[in-house]
Amino acid sequence: MASLNISMPASMRKFVDQRTKATSHSTPTEYVRSLIREDQKRAKSESLESLLQEGLDSGPPIDASSDEWWQRKRATLIRRHSKKKSA
């Protein structure tokens, strides 16, 4: 496991110690790790939201509720997959 040493003002360290106890983390390191994990989740969520918004903004909506649309989509994917296998 990699190590990271950080410096902080005494007031911030006091806060970390208080939050470590209040949140039932065993050590300040565990508290900081949990903050980083939460930030990683938030970043993934923001990325997903961005991709979803990009999709919504990419053009007119497509009615994907009909069986015909799904049959065409399936046929396109099968053709594409078949071409990759023969290449």
pTM higher than 0.75:
no
Nearest to 8 by CA among 25, 31, 38: 31
Angle value at C-alpha 14, between 8 and 16, nearest 5 degrees: 75
Distance CA 77, CA 66 (A): 17
Tens of pLDDT, residues 12-21: 999 999 999 9
Tens of pLDDT, residues 15-74: 999 999 999 999 999 999 999 999 999 999 999 999 999 998 999 988 889 899 999 999
